[in-house]
Amino acid sequence: MPCELKRVEQLQEKLQSCGLNGHVTQKMKFEGHLVCTVAVSGSTKKQNSFVDLILVDPEVLNIQW
């Protein structure tokens, strides 16, 4: 399995673990990094939990919502 696909699956697993629904709407490479755009639905509290969870990943450089 390519690294990018594995990372996207990990992202989706983290969304689900926070009780959110989401799907990747765009994937691309930028300066050697995988950049994903994800459509997410769920409460603000759950989204904040997801942000806290994802930011501890050293490979995550930026998140905007």
For 10-39, the pLDDT digits (tens) are 999 999 999 999 988 999 999 988 899 999
When pLDDT is averaged across residues 30-51 and rounded to a whole number, the result is 93
Predicted local distance difference test score (pLDDT) of residue 32: 87
Predicted local distance difference test score (pLDDT) of residue 41: 95
Instruction: Tell me whether residue 8 is in a domain.
Output: yes
Instruction: Tell me whether residue 61 is in a domain.
Output: no
To the nearest 10°, report the CA torsion of 9, 15, 19, 23. Answer: -80
- Residue 11 DSSP label: H
What's the mean per-residue pLDDT of the chain? 90
Predicted local distance difference test score (pLDDT) of residue 7: 87
Instruction: Tell me whether residue 64 is in a domain.
Output: no
Instruction: Tell me whether residue 48 is in a domain.
Output: yes
Q: What percent of the chain has pLDDT over 70?
A: 98
Predicted local distance difference test score (pLDDT) of residue 1: 54
Beta strands of 1-65 (E only): which ranges? 21-30, 33-41
List the domain range (segments joined by +) for residue 46: 3-55
Number of domains composing the chain: 1
